[in-house]
Amino acid sequence: MAEPLLSLQGVSAGHGEAVVLQDISLQVAPGEAVALLGRNGTGKTTLITTVMGAGPRLRAGSIRFAGQDIARLPSERRAALGLGWVPQERNVFRSLTVEENLTAVARPGPWTLARVMELFPRLAERRRNLGSALSGGEQQMLAMGRALMLNPRLVLLDEPLEGLAPVIVQGLLAAIRRMVREDGLAAVIVEQHARLVLPITDRAVILDRGRIVHAGGSDALLAAPEVAERHLGLNHV
């Protein structure tokens, strides 16, 4: 594997006194897409927010991004280094228009307003609409577009497909595939349903009770559904 872009070594983290993640070691190479799988409550979101420095308390271990120790950096410095995050709640700015949502956080780089609009034509149609007037799928597109406007080197997508209609899911999967396959953006994609993201990722990591219980190629996991079934249950494969 090439020099990792993101590297976690022996990370333990949690909320207050509660330890959620234990001894997590994980590397993501530049341009690599990693599926982060697991049932509800296994620590997937805590892992993402620990990397972003957005809440959980890091109790042990190191987090390095682009060769720099980021464990003590505030979130805005991590974002400035190239970490993009699309939270599960989306958190679009409800009182801003679609276009304003995107320009509010823009940083110079290849991802521009025009390019984001091209990736999500629906956003171009709704560019003058307020965030509060968007459907769930449109809000997800906007949250992803907004993360891209930061011109990240690695984007953390927390359950981007949750609660969306199948037709919207297919559209978003196509956009994510383009981001990671054609545009070479590194990504960690949190998802409960393995079969949705395994085809568009290089590697898969399964979390259970705050520990990594499986790590390997996405193709191998697709070819061996019994492994996924064992860790995720039939409903989540």
Task: Report if residue 195 touches other proteins, rule: CB under 8 A.
Answer: no
Told to check if 150 binds other proteins by CB under 8 A, we report: yes
Stretch that binds other proteins, among 31-39, 102-110, 179-187, 220-228 (CB under 8 A): 102-110
Candidates 9-17, 28-36, 91-99, 226-234: pick the segment binding other proteins (CB under 8 A): 91-99
> Does 96 participate in binding other proteins (rule CB under 8 A)?
yes
Binding residue (CB under 8 A) for other proteins from 65, 85, 111, 120: 85
Contact call for residue 76 and other proteins (CB under 8 A): yes
* CB nearer to other proteins: pick between 55 and 136: 55
Is 107 among the residues that bind other proteins (CB under 8 A)? yes
Cα 198 from Cα 21, distance rounded (Å): 23
Q: Is residue 164 part of the contact set for other proteins (CB under 8 A)?
A: no
**Residue 168 interacts with other proteins (CB under 8 A)?**
no
Q: Is 13 near other proteins (CB under 8 A)?
A: no
Which residues bind to other proteins, rule: CB under 8 A?
52-54, 74-76, 78-80, 85, 87, 91, 93-96, 100, 103-107, 146-147, 150
